[in-house]
Copies of this chain bind each other. A is one copy, B any other.
Amino acid sequence: MKRKCLANETCPVARGYDAIGDWWSLLIVLNILTHGSRRFSQLQEELGMAKNILTARLKKLVDEDILEKRPLAEGAYHEYAPTARGRDLWKVLITLRQWGEQYYCHGERPPNRLVDRETGQPIPPVEIRAADGRLLGPGDLAVIACQPAGTAETE
């Protein structure tokens, strides 16, 4: 039960973190998401990870139903592709990438860009909106405790 490593183990965010496992695992998923699928050798080359570490990370991501290992037509090779659960990390990919572009480009041209496939235009900065459509900023968030089911909620 990897979940034990996070203090608040009933928190869904903590569970999600534990399912991803570690930083390298997130990078593996984001690399695969960007390309649709990847072979082991491609991941190893692009991420520069040791084989045994990459093997262990991929196994955990498959066990957690974030990636699936699929046989390829040619030879005995496999590729790793995102499951629905893995694919739904795409919004994390975009927000992390936009953050990196904002703070680590310094006016340089990045080597590649994430674009809208239909128009080839960059994805505009992600907007966070309230249920009533108001644009939110980081100061507009609060964390509230939820009462157990069946009792009134505190707000």
Which A residues have a C-beta under 8 Å from some C-beta of B?
Answer: 5-8, 10-17, 19-27, 30, 33-35, 45-48, 85, 87-92, 94-105, 108-124, 126-132, 134, 136, 138-146, 148-149, 155
Contacts and interface: CB of A to CB of B under 8 A. Distances in A.
Contacts of A129: 124, 127
Copies, count: 2
A131 B92 CA distance: 19
Nearest to A100: B16
Given A16-B103, A122-B131, A130-B116, A111 B7 contact: no
Contacts of A110: 10-12, 146
Given A47-B7, A85-B103, A97 B27 contact: no
